[in-house]
Amino acid sequence: YMSPMPIGASLATLFSLLVALIATPWLAYRFLKADEHEKEYILEETLIYRIYQRTLAPILSSRKKIWLALGIGVGLQLIAVSLLFLRVVEVKMLPFDNKSEFQVIVDMPEGTTLEQTAAVTKEIAAYLRTEPEVENYQYYVGTHAPINFNGLVRHYYLRQGNNMGDIQVNLVEKGERDAQSHEIAKRVRPKVQEIGRRYNARVKIAEVPPGPPVLSTLVAEIYGPDYQKQVAVARKIKEIFEQTPGVVDVDWLVEDDQVVYKMVVDKEKAALAGVSTQQVAQALRIALHGADVGLLHDENELEPLGIELRLGRENRSSIESLENVSVMSRTGQMIPIGDLVTLEKRVEDKSIYRKNLKRVVYVTGDVSGEIESPIYALLDMDKKIAKLDLPDGVKIEPLYTRAPFLEEKVGMKWDGEWQITYEVFRDLGAAFAVVLIIIYMLIIGWFQSFKVPLIMMIAIPLSLVGIIPGHWIHGAFFTATSMIGMIALAGIM
């Protein structure tokens, strides 16, 4: 994502060197005549020097005025930096991009039928059709939409089941609409979630990220020695997510209880009735999933039509109907399956996620509203998480840069966009420090002084006086690209 910048800067420097060594001397020889330089150049008579002299001479004439000027500079610096902490200028990884698509993710409770999932998905799609910026859409029920880079990181390829639906929404061309894709996503989110609540569905808007994709913008990872304790803590943290203003699309990667019925063949009864276990299993498989039993040759069709033997939808949707399916014994008698099996009811096994070999429970969310930087939502929730009353008097201290080393007690780590933001700004900060050292060494070699470079480099931190308020005036985020520009500006100074 950042590679075009250093590549472009390196090429620009190379071409600038070629122009300086080849084009500039030739142009100077051709167009700069000797008579134009007969007049002696006197620095003190230039306009810039006179303005500079009139401005700084009064300040430098008095020690008190010098300290006053320094105080004003430091004060302006502190005011500019405080805009970041006061959330006037928001810090974010990258600004929102204007994409041509977004996805709507529909999750119904486990055990929901495909028809119920289709109903809510179709209603959401019908609403999206009314939006003027929507060019077309395609919805998928029971499976996932075509995988893009964002879906690859968010594991959308695992979305298979009757309770899942996706809607791929394509917008009209950027030049044909006034609204950005992020504004459109913000506008449709309340309505689609209102439709989802009527069906007890969790509906999320998945935008194409401007930078490296993550599992979600806000991610809380809960670690611990016992999975049930992790789930209990995750449930409380999920409630904090839902109660925090600006945090939307709250979800967690914990599945609801799903009842599963298991028919266990009583081998003694089956043997007495002259029926094998294989017969019972085959009959149930045909009843539920069907079996090809032949071909139908129709003169109106180019190809033969397959004939499938299967119970009707209404009959295969109830246990009673399945128990009434009969199998033939060795004596030719038809015996209902219900007389040969014992029905067991249990809860389906749930998915348990691991990260770096550690069991983890994920709570996810996004940010939308007045404050759209995850860092500030994260800080707001930190205060509430610290006050949680947990069993055994355990207090959670959220970690920001690494997962808990041991799993002897419940712990939590922030992930998502925050992790990438931290790593990028950490690396850019280190690069900035190296740049400052190199600039200092170069100026020392030029002026043969250790003090002069320090005086000259004071202008570098003072550049924040213009940089941060400039972001505020334009309503822009302070992002990683802003940091790169700041480093480049330091080199110019």
Q: Which domain holds residue 287?
A: 259-347
The rounded radius of gyration (Å) of the Cα atoms in the chain is: 34
> CATH number for the domain including 301?
3.30.2090.10
Q: Any idea which residue has 């029971």 for tokens?
A: 142
Contacts of 394 (CB under 8 A, 6+ apart): 409, 410
Average pLDDT over residues 156-174: 92
Burial class for 359, CB neighbours closer than 10 Å (0-12, 13-18, 19+): middle
Integer Cα distance of 221 and 416 in angstroms: 10
Task: Look at residue 473 and tell me if it is in a domain.
Answer: no
Q: Which two tokens stand for residue 426?
A: 């950490």
Same domain (yes/no): 269, 200: no
Q: Which letter, b or e, does each residue of 440-472 get, where b requires 16 or more Cβ atoms within 10 Å of its Cβ?
A: eeebeeeeeeeeebeeebeebbbbbbebbbebe
Residue pair 380/424 in contact by the 8 Å Cβ criterion? no
Task: Look at residue 336 and tell me if it is in a domain.
Answer: yes
Q: Which of 5-9, 367-371, 462-466 has the lowest mean pLDDT?
A: 5-9
Please state the pTM of the whole predicted model.
0.78
Instruction: Tell which of 302, 319, 347 closes a domain.
Output: 347
Integer Cα distance of 177 and 133 in angstroms: 7
Strand partners, 390: none
pLDDT of residue 412: 92
Length of the chain: 493
Integer Cα distance of 200 and 269 in angstroms: 43
> CATH number for the domain including 147?
3.30.70.1430
Q: Which two tokens stand for residue 256?
A: 């609801």
Q: Which helix (H) or strand (E) segment is 3 a member of? A: none
- The tens digit of pLDDT for each residue in 390-447 reads 767 778 888 888 898 888 888 899 999 999 889 888 988 898 899 889 989 998 998 8
- The tens digit of pLDDT for each residue in 296-307 reads 888 888 889 889
Residues of the chain by 3-state class (helix, strand, coil), percent to 5? 50, 20, 30
- The tens digit of pLDDT for each residue in 223-251 reads 998 899 999 999 999 999 999 998 999 99
pLDDT: which is higher, 36 or 358: 358
Structural domain count of the chain: 2
Query: 242, 252, 479: which is closest to 375 by C-alpha?
Result: 479
Task: Look at residue 228 and tell me if it is in a domain.
Answer: no
